[in-house]
Amino acid sequence: MVTVPLPEEQCRLIEELEPRLELVRDHSLVHPARWPADWSGDPDHVRTAEQQAAFDAMVDSADVLFGIPDVDAAALARTVRANPALRWVMTTAAGGGASVKAAGLDRAELDRVVFTTSAGVHGGTLAEFSVFAVLAGAKGLPRLLADQRTRTWPNRWQMRQLDEMTVLVVGLGGIGSECARRFHALGATVWGTTRSGEPVEGVDRLIPLSELTDAVAHVDAMVVTLPGTEQTHHLIGADVLAAVKPGLILTNVGRGTVVDEAALLTALDDGRVAFAGLDVFEHEPLDEQSPLWSHPRVLVSPHTAAINANEEERIARRFADNAARLLDGRPLRAVVDTVEFY
């Protein structure tokens, strides 16, 4: 059952890729998308009582769900409890574990249903944003824009060069690995944090996460790609930011809760962090009163760096691949850890 606004073209693609699957959908019952990959749909769209009943009945009849219904944790909890036949739910978000956690399912329910995410599908687009953000800091984009607005032609000044920089990728999962590959290709020295200790292409040095505070004193840029969990909450906090090499460039394309924004603002104000390019925030939308909006060395991106015209197709292909794995009894990709929820 397709529970989110997936275009018919992508529904047919799934059926072509995995013809053993019966893909049920009714586009009139999902909230209409406002733009590509708008999985939650228009919040102003309201189903009639009859439409809601029909939608719930379809959801509750499925063995598998493409998407969390309406991207709503409460709706996920409702259908898990109403449908004992439900076997697998694929979230359209790479960080879908957070929604699974928010559903408040008990251990028996979490063990009965397999949850997967689209982790890795957005790796390329987020890695490109990371490169863009680090280059924006290295080349002084805020200064260039300020001078352009005031038609100021200053004395020439020095820019930093990426192939002379050390970039630390915090989290070498699907997104982090893509970041490492691109920074390596551009000549940077790449370090990356690891839990497994397994080598990653393009990474010159692996850093145990326990040594993060020591490592940041030696890097020029830090790229944060971690999911939002209890273990990663404010991992990039006052202690880490106090230890950074002055002039650090920071970008976050993981989850906003990983970076302590109050501590980041302090580090920006005293110059330890020279520039921050942020696609994610602790609370979204970013509050109108947040000083991040107007800070002269912050680039605010409204959690849009992952959006791409091909995102829907990539997620549809991931779903079809995992459907084949499920039917063939093979392990699924990007399974949610239902203890740490990433």
Active site residues: 255, 284, 303
Please give the Cα distance from 180 to 196 (Å, whole number): 16
Q: What angle do CA 22, 25, 27 make, to 5 degrees?
A: 160
Which helix (H) or strand (E) segment holds residue 291: the answer is: none
| 114-116 and 205-208 beta bridge pairing | unpaired
Identify any residues that bridge with 64 across adjacent strands, giving them in sequence order: 88
CB 272 within 8 A of CB 250: no
Q: What angle do CA 106, 112, 115 make, to 5 degrees?
A: 90
Q: How many CB atoms lie within 10 A of CB 201?
A: 10
Please give the Cα distance from 96 to 67 (Å, whole number): 9
Q: How far is CA 205 from CA 167, 189, 201, in A?
A: 10, 9, 11
Q: What are phi and psi of 8, to 5 degrees?
A: -60, -35
Q: What is the chain's Cα-based Rg?
A: 22
Secondary structure class of 257 (helix, strand, coil): helix
Name the nearest CA neighbour of 109 among 72, 71, 73, 81.
81
